[in-house]
Chain A
Amino acid sequence: MNSSFSERSSGNFQERLQQGFADLPFGPKTLMLGAGALIAYGVSRRSKAGTAIAGVGGVLAYGAMRQMSQEPREVKATFLVNASPEQCYSIWRNFQSLPKFMAHLKEVRELGGNQSEWVALGPMQREVCWTAETREDEPGRRISWASLPDSDIETSGRVDFRPDPQGRGTFVTAEVQYSAPGGPLGVAFATMMGKHPEFMVHEDLRRFKALVECGEVPTTAGQTHGPRGMHGHAGQVLFRETNNQLEPQAGDELRMSA
């Protein structure tokens, strides 16, 4: 987005159009509203001129959407965890164990140095990968990270551990910035699949709290039940039990049977 003038003039039409939209004195949401009005007006005229007006509206809407998809988004969540900042930090800092509370994360591998490779599951269980670089790592206080350029998504974040002045635990705050793949439509789709980023960050932090406080994260995934039928399956999706609950955490090798 910070392209120099020479790059801009040598780019193709699409890039130049994009830059033109970015230079407008109002934001993409206003632009989208205006575009919607033009389309509605154009279609309602039912004439050749109307079609042209609606067409212009369409181009504007496309530009606004492109721009919105590039706008970084930020989500934030805070939980008061009944443990010390050091305990919280040490559990979070063990990156390979992050999937123990981040339900949508499949795997994290430490690559050495300050880099790690992350694999998440997006909507429809599609794998999304990125390499992250640890930017700040202050034991008992803060960890921050950012994705490197060759990643599927652009994301960065940080988690702060702040002791409660009244001694009732630690305020754990996670802040994540990302530019969503697929733009606003992508986010709408992800929301439908129970994977809205704000919901995910909030729920991940809730699970982190459970893991720190009781050593495991509650789940009913895989419990026995009667025939679900249409009503039962719909409920499972509606209450996000299919994708917002962790897999059981007691492996077979851990079990002590009668």
Chain B
Amino acid sequence: MKALCWMGKEKLEVHDVPDPTILNPRDAIVRITTTCICGSDLHLYDGYVPTLEQGDILGHEFMGEVVEVGSGVDPNKLKVGDRVVVPFTIACGSCQFCQDELWSCCDNSNPNAWVAEKIMGYSPSGLFGYTHMLGGYSGGQAQYARVPFADVGPLKIPDGIPDEKVIFLSDIFPTGYMGAENCNIRPGDTVAVWGCGPVGQFAIRSCFMLGAGRVIAIDRVRERLDMARAAGAETLNFDEADVLDALHEMTGGRGPDSCMDVVGMEASGHGALYAMDRAKQMTRMQMDRPIVLRQAIMACRKGGSVSVPGVYAGFIDKVPMGAFVNKGLTMKSGQTHMMRYMKPLLERVQAGEIDPSFVISHTLPLDAAPEAYRMFRDKQDQCTKVVLKPWDQMAA
């Protein structure tokens, strides 16, 4: 089959590799009909997240048809022919964490848990197409994928809904939704959202679903700010205004009730501190650039909530802990507990409350993935979200 392989920093290649096979009894093989490039894939592309290996198949947002199941999969839960969206987190369904619905904290799905424990104390769940510290499972930017614990994760999709409307249930829609949920929104609250990429777009819409009165969306890419405005958000371009001053002004000196960092480790900004963060990240003295996190903590009103769906990999410097403590803030984060959100959000899609396909800017064959990564990273050609079709041929 064809698969997109990570061959080094900024070096992706589509290779012919062996088809995946069932390895464990609870595995299934999915023939992929649609897959996407995620913002968190860009951190891998840029080489900022450690423990990737040359030859890894990337991709953690995919859906398709089940073509093979292992002997341990209950046919009432999943069978050959089912059309499924596969969540990016892998969960066993029977450990304490899965039973508590903390699916992305599954205790048993990461075969390299000891590596994650060295860096984080305890290991979160395994992920598709991500680092080896999080399992090193081959991902879904390919024609087929092996799905472990297939009786727990995949969500069955009824016929009649196009892939484009449900593919984002694999990651970014639930991720944006959980980010909004972690904002502890009360009716009428003001939420500031840093980052208007695809997850940010879903986060903004989810904030309104959860009763927010105002959403202030912060970015600098014109088409993304336009998209946020279309959802009813007020916008702030951080190239044109000082974010803290502007938020202070817009909230009458009180500050947003909740602040959401949907940017993570490769944030952009201005000033000396930003330059220093960049230099430290380049020299590996700091894994992440926490520009947005610092702003979110400083901007948040007293007693407010900071929600962090953005991806961070390691250790960060100069976090305003004094502000966090003295203002009595609450912070919540985590990889998305996918299985909590997939079904309810599918119902919202079916009910016509939201059509997630609004975020797609490009649909391309898998062979175009290496160029698509660059285009997405550099935000060229008004790229917001790339959907890949693994079985389509390149136009000559």
Contacts and interface: CB of A to CB of B under 8 A. Distances in A.
A225 B108 CA distance: 22
A239 B18 contact: no
A69 to B, nearest CB: 27
Interface in B125-149: 126, 132-133, 135-138, 146, 148-149
Interface residues on A, range: 35 or more
Interface string A229-258: 111100110011100110011100011111
B95 interface: yes
B23 A223 contact: yes
A215 interface: yes
A225 B71 contact: no
B138 A228 contact: no
Contact of A228 (B26, B53, B126, B137): B53
Contact of B51 (A210, A213, A224, A235): A235
A48 B114 CA distance: 51
A209 to B, nearest CB: 7
Given A216-B25, A245-B111, A249-B25, A254 B19 contact: no
Contact of A219 (B21, B23, B70): B23
Interface string B63-107: 000011111100000001100000000001111100100000001
Given A213-B95, A227-B5, A231-B54, A218 B71 contact: no
A169 B135 CA distance: 25
B273 to A, nearest CB: 34
Contacts of B137: 220, 223
B92 A210 contact: yes
B15 interface: yes
B5 A214 contact: no
A206 B109 CA distance: 11
Contacts of B112: 239-241, 244
A209 B67 CA distance: 30
Contacts of B15: 226-227
Question: What DSSP secondary structure best describes chain B's contact surface?
Answer: loop
Interface in B299-346: none
Contacts of B53: 228, 231-232, 235-236, 239
A192 interface: no
A168 interface: yes
B20 A223 contact: yes
A50 to B, nearest CB: 44
Contacts of A244: 112, 114
B24 A248 contact: yes
B79 to A, nearest CB: 9
B72 A215 contact: yes
A258 B80 contact: yes
A218 B135 contact: yes
Interface residues of B, number: 59
Contact of B55 (A213, A218, A227): A227
Contacts of B92: 210, 213-214, 218
Given A82-B96, A206-B113, A210-B108, A224 B20 contact: yes
B244 interface: no
B27 interface: yes
Nearest to B137: A220
Question: Main SS of chain A's interface residues?
Answer: loop
Contacts of A220: 23, 111, 135-138
Interface string A182-225: 00000000000000000100110010011001111111111111
B71 A224 contact: no
Contacts of B257: none
Nearest to A235: B53
B17 A224 contact: yes
Contacts of A82: 94-96, 99
Contact of B114 (A169, A203, A225, A248): A203
B8 interface: yes
A209 B111 CA distance: 12
A255 B71 contact: yes
B246 interface: no
A229 B148 CA distance: 26
- Residue of A214, A220, A239, A244 contacting most chain B CB atoms (<10 Å): A214
Contacts of A240: 112, 114
A220 to B, nearest CB: 6
Given A217-B111, A222-B21, A235-B132, 6 more contacts: A220-B23, A226-B56, A239-B112, A249-B24, A249-B25, A258-B67
Interface of A: 80, 82, 168-169, 199, 202-203, 206, 209-210, 213-232, 235-236, 239-241, 244-245, 248-250, 254-258
13 contacts: A214-B93, A223-B137, A224-B21, A229-B55, A235-B51, A235-B53, A236-B53, A239-B115, A240-B112, A248-B23, A248-B24, A250-B70, A254-B25
